[in-house]
Amino acid sequence: MSVPPGIEAEGGAWRSIGFFPNFLLRDLVGWLAALAMLAAAAAFFPAHLGEKADPFAPAPAGIRPEWYFMFMFQTLRYLPATILGIEGELLGILAFGALGIVLLFVPFLDRPKTPDAQPGKLWTYLTYGALAYILLLTYLGYTFDPTT
pLDDT, one tens digit per residue, over 35-45 is 999 999 999 99
Nearest to 1, CA basis, from 20, 16, 21: 16
As beta bridge partners, residue 67 has none
pLDDT at 133: 96
Whether 116 contacts 133, CB under 8 Å: no
Q: What's this model's pTM, rounded to 2 decimal places?
A: 0.58
Q: CA separation (Å) from 127 to 54, 57, 99, 120?
A: 41, 39, 12, 12
pLDDT at 82: 92
